[in-house]
Each structure stands twice: as C-alpha cells, then as structure tokens.
Amino acid sequence: MKKWLIFSILIMFGIFNLNEPVLAEAGAADLTSEAAVLMDTQSGAILFGKNEEVKMYPASLTKIATAIYAIEKGNLDDQVIVSKKVFDIDGTRVYLNPGEQVTLKKLIQGMLINSGNDAAMAIAIHLDGTMEKYSQHVNEFLESEIGVKATHFVNPHGLFDEDHYTTAKDLGIILNYAMKNEDFREIFGTKQMKWDGESWDTTLLSHHRMLKGEIPYPGVTGGKTGFVDQSKQTLATTAENGPLKLTAILLKSEYKKKIYDDTIKLFDYGFSNFKSSQVKKGEVFTSGKRQFTYSADTFLTDPIDEGNRTVDSNGVLNIENREGKVIQTVELKPIIKKKLEVKNTAQKAEQSGVLSLNSIVGGILLLFAVGVLVLNRKQKRNRRYRSR
C-alpha cells in the first residue's frame, strides 16, 4: 500500500512521465543485431543508428544492389542464356539449367523472392561477362550513381568473401535509391509467384516472414532476408504508414526471431516519433531576416514533438530531433533582394532636369522668334502706308 502511495505521488509531481516518447538512444541497448539503421525511405533522414557505419558482411542483402543495377543497366525483356557457371554455385537456388533461356526480369524475381544464387550469377554474367568486370562495374554504379562510400562487392549474391562488405547505412541508401524504381518496388514487394522452369515447376514464396504475414505488422511493403555463417542473420524491410515511409536494415543477429523483433522495434519507434512532408521547388523558408528557397521538390522528416529547423551560415537547412541531433540536411538557395540603384536614378533625374531646362529655353527662343516676325510685319505695313 505504501509503495503504491509513493508511486502515485511521484506521478503527480511529474517525476515519472508515462507518456514520454521512447528515445532512439534508449532503444539501441534493446537491439540484438550488431548493426542497424532506420531511415526515411523518401528523404534519406537517419532516424536511428547502431554501428551503422561499421563494415559488415551483408549476405543476400547484396541482391538488392544486384537487382537495381540490372534493372537500370539491362533490359527486363532480354532473353538470358544461362551460363554453365551457375551449376557450381552454392546455397539457395531456383534450379536453372545451363543453356536455359529466361528473361532478365524473371531472373531478378527468382533472385529477390527465392534468393536464388544461380539467378544472381546468371544476371551478372549476362550483364558483364565475368565476375571481375561485374565487380568493377557494380561498384562504380554504387559509388557514382547512388553515392555510397563504404561498400565493395565482388559477387552478385553475397556468399562470403573478405573483400565483399558494406555498412548498414550504405545498404539503407542503396535500398532507398532502389525504392524509387517502380519495377524494383513491384518485385521487392512480391509475396509469391508461379515459377515454371525447365527443371523446377513450383510457386516461389518470399523468405521474409513480415512480408508474408507470418509475423504481422501493418504497412510492410517489401523485404529481403540473408544468412551466411560469417554474416549471421541479416534483414532489410520497408514499411509505410500514411505519408511516412521507412527503411530498416539489421545486420548480424544470432537468431532469426530476434532480428524480426529488432525490425518491429525500429518501425514502432519511427512511426511513433516522426512525420514526413513534401515541399515544392521554389517554396520559401524564412530564418530570421534571411529567406531561402528549395531548389527541387524535397521530402522533409520532422520529429512529431520538439523538433527544430535551423539554417547555418552556408544556407544548409538542418532538421534536429529533441536531443539536438541532426537527422537531415537540405541545401537551400538564398533569396537575394536587389538594392535600388541610387546612382542610376540620380542620373535619370539629372537628365530629366536638363531636358526640362532645354524645353523652357527652347520655348523662350520660339516666342522671341515669333515676336520678331510680328514686329517685322508691322514695320513693313507702316512703310506701305507712308509710301501712299
């Protein structure tokens, strides 16, 4: 009874706040995965991170990069002749036969939905001929067109190699980029599809338990699983709740159930604490006496409570969470108001004055000339009268 009385008093005086939002830093200790990142899919804002810039082995999350690379650099309707090299690949397959003809789109579907390593290998050989050229080209694509800095891939499927690595942050950036592509979104969100191959006739089912609904969570739009011994469990998931779209990357969890628990914790945190909005190109942002404009249509992510927007001396908009940590930066263009050209105005006024003076003098001279003419005529008339 005394304990309940003390507890009630503490609540009354605000020492305990049962409605306070969960902080990102507090949630980090609860994640079992060694690395994690939660991002706004549309704006790229990092809402939560745990070892998000530490080099990790991604396992089959590699196939997200292979898929968007193939979609953008290849033709989905191309007929791919499956190479003999796919026959020796380890791990999960869609049981392609050497010499079998399959469209590039179907190979991407088999790779993302069923995590077929043989499909990933067939894609890479079709696009670049060899693993060496594939590695070179895909890394150039990831760095120059997507903008990642800490990723190096040597194969298209994610089987372990010491030189095949990335970070949770880079994977989030890659997935966010891929989600802008309609073909990728369709395949990444596919739960099942009919597979009619030369040696395998079946229905492919996504391995992602939240996407399939085995672990219910509202708004899940896509997912990819991964596992090799060195990587442990890896998981990529996208979800949306109204205008807010989220990307969660979890790396190196010992247990499959725990990595899904971690994903749910991240989504719960994101949807409870953040909101998304879009500003149009040309809209004005005012900071003190200065005004700036957005140079392109831009998605912004703000904390629901106690967020802050500030502009630094370089014209960069910083969106901060309640702890003052920057979660998103946007470059703005300053609006420079033109000053009145006093000198030119004075010159025009001076010129106007000169013109006015000239007009007056001209008028006087004209009147004088008319007067002289009138006087001359009178004198001539008088002379005529006298001569008579």
- Who contacts 156 (Cβ-Cβ below 8 Å, separation ≥6)? 62, 63, 66, 120, 121, 123, 124, 134, 138
Distances (CA, A) of 331 to 135, 211, 291, 314, 338: 33, 36, 13, 8, 22
Which residue ranges make up each domain of the chain?
Answer: 24-274, 280-334
Residue with the larger pLDDT of the pair 331 and 313: 331
Amino acid at 118: D
- Measure CA of the first residue to CA of the last residue in the chain; give whole Å: 146
The mean per-residue pLDDT over the stretch 335-364 comes to 56
pLDDT at 388: 44
Question: Angle at CA 71, nearest 5°, toward 177 and 86?
Answer: 120
Confidence of residue 14 (pLDDT cuts 50, 70, 90): very low
Q: Mean per-residue pLDDT for 347-369?
A: 53
Position 381 scores a pLDDT of 53
pLDDT per residue over 105-153, tens digit each? 999 999 999 999 999 999 999 999 999 999 999 999 999 999 999 999 9
Name the range with the highest mean pLDDT among 17-21, 254-258, 293-297. 254-258
Confidence band (pLDDT; 50, 70, 90) for 12?
A: very low
Please determine, for residue 377, whether its predicted confidence score (pLDDT) is greater than 70.
no
What does the pLDDT read at residue 291? 85
Query: Over 80: is that where the pLDDT of 85 sits?
Result: yes
* Assigned fold of 24-274: Beta-lactamase (3.40.710)
| Phi/psi-derived region of residue 147, left when phi > 0, alpha when psi is between -120 and 50, beta in every other case | left
CA atoms of 198 and 118, how far apart (whole Å): 14
**Where is average pLDDT lowest: 4-13, 222-231, 371-380?**
4-13
Distance, CA of 296 to CA of 283 (rounded, Å): 9
What Å distances lie between residue 94 and 70, 196, 201, 265, CA to CA? 18, 10, 10, 33
At residue 178, the 3 state secondary structure works out as: helix
Predicted local confidence at residue 287, as pLDDT: 79
Type of residue at 291: Q
Look at residues 92, 86, 97, 93 and name the one whose alpha carbon lies nearest to residue 121: 86
Question: Quick one: pLDDT at residue 376?
Answer: 60
Q: What is the pLDDT of residues 225-277, one digit of tens each?
A: 999 999 999 999 999 999 999 999 999 999 999 999 999 999 999 999 999 99
**Which pLDDT value is given to residue 315?**
84
**Which contacts (CB < 8 Å, 24+ apart) does range 313-316 have?**
none
Q: Is 262 left (phi over 0), alpha (psi -120 to 50) or beta?
A: alpha
